[in-house]
Amino acid sequence: MTDSPADVRRASSEDWRGLRTIRLESLSDTPEAYGSTYGESAAWPDERWHAAAAQWTYFLAERDDRVVGMVSGGTNDHRPGTRWLYGLYVTPSERGTKTAARLVEAVGEWARTLGAAQLYLHVTSSVARARAFYEKMGFVPTGDTLTMDRDPSITLLTMVLELD
């Protein structure tokens, strides 16, 4: 493992294969952390992956021409006008580097350019490693919780980061 972070950039339509690979890896590695399942996502046709890479706000981390991390930015229908971080993941060999932090920073910058003063996320209560990382990045719990749509036994904690 290297201490330097991987390169982070906004995804484009040409990145659909790398996005598919890292997303399926994330769903296999930590299935309880995501709102979709490996089976659902693995069944997507190539066209859907291409559309996701082209139309959604994804940032990818790359090292040696290989996608090693991802995150997306978006909105939340339950909190109109807010910006959210979704689906952060780094491959195990990147953990302990600054790659995850660089991905969070990329989404934060995206949110700032849209005029957001805060960045929200949901984190699975059972994934302590993720909660600790977000706290280290400056996110604080809002006190709000909800259950995951696909599995009501999974509790999600809402956290927020003040964007300076």
pLDDT at 3: 67
pLDDT at 2: 59
- Give the three-class secondary structure for 98: coil
Amino acid at 68: V
User: Where in 22-133 does DSSP place strands (E)?
Assistant: 57-63, 66-74, 83-90, 118-124
The span from the CA of 5 to the CA of 13, in Å, is 24
Segment 38-87, tens digit of pLDDT: 999 999 999 999 999 999 999 999 999 999 999 999 999 889 999 999 99
CA-based radius of gyration for the chain: 15
Cα separations in angstroms, 30 against 95, 126, 153, 163: 14, 11, 15, 28
pLDDT at 164: 80
Amino acid at 116: A
- Nearest Cα to 10, choosing from 97, 71, 75, 95? 71
pLDDT at 25: 97
Domains delineated in the chain: 7-162 (3.40.630.30)
What average pLDDT score do residues 5-15 get?
Answer: 93
Cα separations in angstroms, 6 against 64, 67, 83, 93: 9, 9, 24, 11
Residue 1 pLDDT exceeds 70 = no
User: Which residues, including other chains, have CB under 8 Å from residue 130's CB and lie 6 or more apart?
Assistant: 33, 88, 123, 124
pLDDT at 4: 79
Residue with tokens 């996110």: 139
Amino acid at 111: A
Segment 84-132, tens digit of pLDDT: 999 999 999 999 899 999 999 999 999 999 999 999 999 999 889 999 9
Tokens of 100: 């995850």
pLDDT at 64: 93
Cα separations in angstroms, 146 against 42, 129, 143, 152: 26, 19, 10, 9
Q: What is the pTM of this model?
A: 0.93
